[in-house]
Amino acid sequence: MTEHKPNRLASESSAYLKSAAHQPVDWYPWGPEALARAQKEDKPILLDIGAVWCHWCHVMDRESYENPDVAQLINQHFVPVKVDRDERPDLDARLQAAVSAISGQGGWPLTAFLTPDGKPFFGGTYFPPEDYIGRPGFKRVLAAIAANYHTRQAEIRASADNLTEALGQAEMFRGARRDFTPVVVDAIVDSAVKLFDIRYGGFGNAPKFAHPAALELLLERYQVTGEKYLLTVITTTLDSMARGGVHDQLAGGFHRYSVDARWQVPHFEKMSYDNSELLKNYLHGFQVTGNPFYRQVAEGIIAWVNTTLADLERGGFYASQDADHSLEDDGDYFTWTLEEVRAVLPPDDAALIAEHYDIGENGEMPHNPAKNVLWVAVSAEELARQRAVPVEGLEKRLAAARQKMLEARRKRPTPYVDTTLYVAWNGMLISACLEAYRALGREDCRLQALHTLDRILDAAWSDRWGFAHVCPQSGRCPQDQWAGGILDDQVFMATALLDAFELTGNHRYFEDAERAMRLCLEKFGDTADGGFFDRPQDAPPLAEGLDIPRKPFQDSPTPAANPVAAMVLDRLASYTLNQDYRQKARKTLEAFAGLADSYGLFAATYGLAALLHVRQPLEVVIVGARNDARTQALARAAHDTFRFGKAVLQYEPKEISAERLPAGLAATLPHLGGDGPMGLVCVNATCQSPLRQPEELAAAIAGAAR
């Protein structure tokens, strides 16, 4: 590869941008310098959006952007701009919508062509360097666009104007405002059930993504209705994902998605946000069914997070683990040849593992047919039956063999871990780890979650702008300028703060959650039509063609920020009795009520927000000495009984005071007399009579939520 003088990306903090610093393309990071040059020279902008974990982004880098001939064509006719989608989700969301409208395609790499004022007029995803199986070659695309831009510029600009106007209407959800009705939840649930793959679990066909919010919605619906087919959808999906290759059978955690319907062959990148939400799914699945397999899977996710993503010393969770070590492999770190297994294990154990995980001479990977993805082809129970041995002993053999394979795998060249601390994704993992403490009693999860929360509060909060998008590795984010914080960062951190308050009783976390949500209402809220914009209204402009007001509503790839905001507001209303919060939550739901049912599966978080708004949060208050075994039994019963929207708060008797509690909670608790620990179930500013037996408390929680 020819060496070139490093381009402008060499000084960027993003690992994805830095990886392109050696390329001969005259890249700019997104910003006013690139836009000014495009307008001055009247050149279209070539915008590449990708991520450090994205395999095909690196393929296109190598095939096209590292090619001197392609680079010369780009540098001559375009102003090239490279964007990290994780670093700039606001830009990515707008360009994804535009390119999808133009080409019907979305995803990464995203290749977009913009007028000099930033209006998209053409785009696609991956382009091969030359024409290939119906895909136009990138050289031909570049040449055609360069020629057409000068000969048909008026037509291109008119088309770009029309697209920008249409996107503005769609992203604002104009015409979607309706009176809120919880009936929409029925449509969302029905949509998910109709898409259920009864054979392999999950929703729809290949490629298959996990859809954690949909599983949460179906779990809650099952808890209320007891409809057995809902439980079948849930357990079939959880079982199939966990036994498939999309689940890392050795280290734990889940890859981003499966390329096939059977969950067998994944795209191997592992994202923090996928694993945070799947951790909740398996914790809640364990609580609802008691199936120890789900606990085992949840423990595996925690183990992977702790070893790969967690900054245990300083607090914080890293963003992702790449799919590949280099472009020469495709998941080679995670996959195995039969010879590699035999080199690590004794013959009997190698044969056992090979049967368990379907490891043969021929595997599933096209680039290397000898490579096998590990997936559970024959269960431990079936293997034990075939061998007429106790299943417990056989499971121990499998576990020991897996550990040896994991130790051997760790000696391989390891895929890159992006150590960026994205605030929204950290908020999601904080909440998931606190849930792991509640469901499993994992004290290490509680400590890491609170350690992370305190670090982000200290380093990534600004009184003017709220939470930054990235928590700095050292120092604090700038206090007087926007640090990229979007709606996701505010609402997922507000959620984490409320979760931490409920678990610890620390009133500071509650105050910080309320402060974050007030800032959200002020800077992100739409006072006219309800809902929230993804960017603060006084943030620096993106570009004339991209300054489209946008309200995130669809779950993709993370839970949608607007329904999450509505849930935070309803929780705050319950604790404060401030009806303005509840009205703002309702107005947020109304902003999308006219279209929510048409989004089906992708509106699952909206469905959860709708349920919480109708039912209102459920608060379980345990009062008693913390070291009293009776108090601990009540707390365990409260935590073990899963209900969506349930909070468990624990206080010593001396801590029950107006100063210690949020105003609404202090007002709803009755006068507490009598001896010994007690539990109270409170909904809608009313508490039931105190209960002293764990089984009575569990029954009351289940009944109140219905």
**Other CB atoms closer than 10 Å to residue 290's CB: what's the count?**
10
Topology of the domain comprising 8-171: Glutaredoxin (3.40.30)
Residue 88's Cβ-side half-sphere holds a number of Cα atoms within 13 Å equal to: 22
Averaged pLDDT, 286-308? 98
The owner of tokens 């929510």 is 596
Q: Do domains 8-171 and 618-705 have the same CATH topology?
A: yes
Averaged pLDDT, 437-451? 97
Averaged pLDDT, 43-63? 95
**Does 472 sit behind a cis peptide bond, omega within 30 degrees of 0 on the bond before it?**
no
Phi/psi of residue 384, nearest 5 degrees: -65, -40
| Percent with pLDDT over 70 in the chain | 98
Distance between CA atoms of residues 110 and 108, nearest Å: 5
Annotate 540-586 with DSSP letters as a single string: PP--TTT-------S-SSS--HHHHHHHHHHHHHHHH--HHHHHHHH
CA dihedral 316, 498, 505, 305 (to 10 degrees): -30
Domain 421-603 in CATH 1.50.10.20: yes
Q: Annotate 242-311 with three-state secondary structure.
A: HHCCCECCCCCCECCEECCCCCCCEECCEEHHHHHHHHHHHHHHHHHHCCHHHHHHHHHHHHHHHHHHEC
**Does 109 sit behind a cis peptide bond, omega within 30 degrees of 0 on the bond before it?**
yes
Strands (E), 573-656: 618-623, 646-651
- Tokens standing for 641? 């009984």
Instruction: Please list, in sequence order, all residues whose beta carbon lies within 8 angstroms of the beta carbon of residue 580, skipping any fewer than 6 positions away.
Output: none
Strands 320-321 and 417-418 turn out to be antiparallel
Averaged pLDDT, 264-286? 97
| Percent with pLDDT over 90 in the chain | 86
Rg value, the chain, Cα: 26
Measure the CA angle with vertex 85, ends 302 and 561; round to 5°: 65
Q: What is the predicted pLDDT for the residue at 454? A: 98
Q: Check pLDDT > 70 for residue 672.
A: no
More confident residue, 573 or 703: 573
Q: What is the predicted pLDDT for the residue at 706? A: 64
Measured in residues, the chain has a length of 706
pLDDT band at 655 (very low <50, low <70, confident <90, very high): confident
In the sheet that holds 320-321, the strands lie side by side as: 270-271, 320-321, 417-418
pLDDT band at 3 (very low <50, low <70, confident <90, very high): low
**Other CB atoms closer than 10 Å to residue 1's CB: what's the count?**
8
Distance between CA atoms of residues 572 and 180, nearest Å: 20
Report the b/e string of 77-92 with b at 16+ CB within 10 A. Answer: bbbbbbbbbbbbbbbb
Distance between CA atoms of residues 564 and 581, nearest Å: 13
Least confident segment among 53-57, 77-81, 234-238, 393-397: 53-57
Averaged pLDDT, 189-204? 97
Q: Do 562 and 602 meet the contact criterion of CB atoms below 8 Å apart?
A: no
Burial-class residue 107 by CB neighbours within 10 Å (0-12, 13-18, 19+).
middle
pLDDT, tens digit (0-9, with 9 covering 90-100), for 119-138: 999 999 999 999 887 778 99
Q: Check pLDDT > 50 for residue 1.
A: no
The single-letter DSSP state of residue 599 is H
Query: What angle, rounded to 10 degrees, do the helices at 89-103 and 153-171 form?
Result: 120
Query: What are the residue boundaries of the structural domains of the chain, listed by start?
Result: 8-171, 202-304+322-416, 421-603, 618-705
Q: Do 213 and 558 meet the contact criterion of CB atoms below 8 Å apart?
A: no
Q: Check pLDDT > 90 for residue 544.
A: no
Distance between CA atoms of residues 44 and 157, nearest Å: 11
Q: Do 253 and 275 meet the contact criterion of CB atoms below 8 Å apart?
A: yes
Residue 197 region by backbone torsions, left for phi larger than 0, else alpha for psi between -120 and 50, else beta: beta
First-to-last alpha carbon distance for the chain, in angstroms, is: 65
Distance between CA atoms of residues 499 and 491, nearest Å: 12
Averaged pLDDT, 410-415? 95
Q: What is the predicted pLDDT for the residue at 2? A: 54
Burial-class residue 636 by CB neighbours within 10 Å (0-12, 13-18, 19+).
middle
Q: Check pLDDT > 90 for residue 397.
A: yes
653-656's contacts with Cβ under 8 Å and 24+ in sequence apart are: 653/623, 653/624, 653/625, 655/505, 656/623
Distance between CA atoms of residues 334 and 330, nearest Å: 9
Instruction: Give the three-class secondary structure for 138.
Output: helix
Distance between CA atoms of residues 451 and 461, nearest Å: 15
Q: Do 210 and 218 meet the contact criterion of CB atoms below 8 Å apart?
A: no
pLDDT, tens digit (0-9, with 9 covering 90-100), for 205-220: 999 999 999 999 999 9
Burial-class residue 443 by CB neighbours within 10 Å (0-12, 13-18, 19+).
exposed
The owner of tokens 């001559």 is 76
Distance between CA atoms of residues 181 and 190, nearest Å: 16
Q: What is the predicted pLDDT for the residue at 175? A: 83
pLDDT, tens digit (0-9, with 9 covering 90-100), for 338-371: 999 999 999 999 999 999 999 999 999 988 999 9
Considering the domain 618-705, what is its CATH architecture? 3-Layer(aba) Sandwich (3.40)
Least confident segment among 434-443, 469-478, 656-665: 656-665
Instruction: Give the three-class secondary structure for 677.
Output: coil
Instruction: Please list, in sequence order, all residues whose beta carbon lies within 8 angstroms of the beta carbon of residue 521, skipping any fewer than 6 positions away.
Output: 584
Averaged pLDDT, 226-242? 97
Least confident segment among 498-502, 581-585, 652-656: 652-656
Q: Check pLDDT > 60 for residue 487.
A: yes
Q: What is the predicted pLDDT for the residue at 660? A: 75
- Tokens standing for 339? 């010879």
Q: Check pLDDT > 50 for residue 189.
A: yes
Distance between CA atoms of residues 603 and 557, nearest Å: 12
Q: Check pLDDT > 70 for residue 670.
A: no
The single-letter DSSP state of residue 82 is E
Averaged pLDDT, 573-582? 95
- Tokens standing for 70? 């392609």
The owner of tokens 């999450």 is 564
The owner of tokens 């871990």 is 417
Q: Check pLDDT > 50 for residue 625.
A: yes
pLDDT, tens digit (0-9, with 9 covering 90-100), for 301-336: 999 999 999 999 999 999 999 998 877 788 999 999
More confident residue, 72 or 1: 72
The owner of tokens 């925690």 is 302
pLDDT, tens digit (0-9, with 9 covering 90-100), for 7-36: 999 999 999 999 999 999 999 999 999 999
What rounded mean pLDDT belongs to the chain? 94
443-451's contacts with Cβ under 8 Å and 24+ in sequence apart are: 444/306, 445/302, 446/503, 448/306, 448/310, 448/312, 448/315, 449/496, 449/500, 450/500, 450/504, 451/314, 451/315
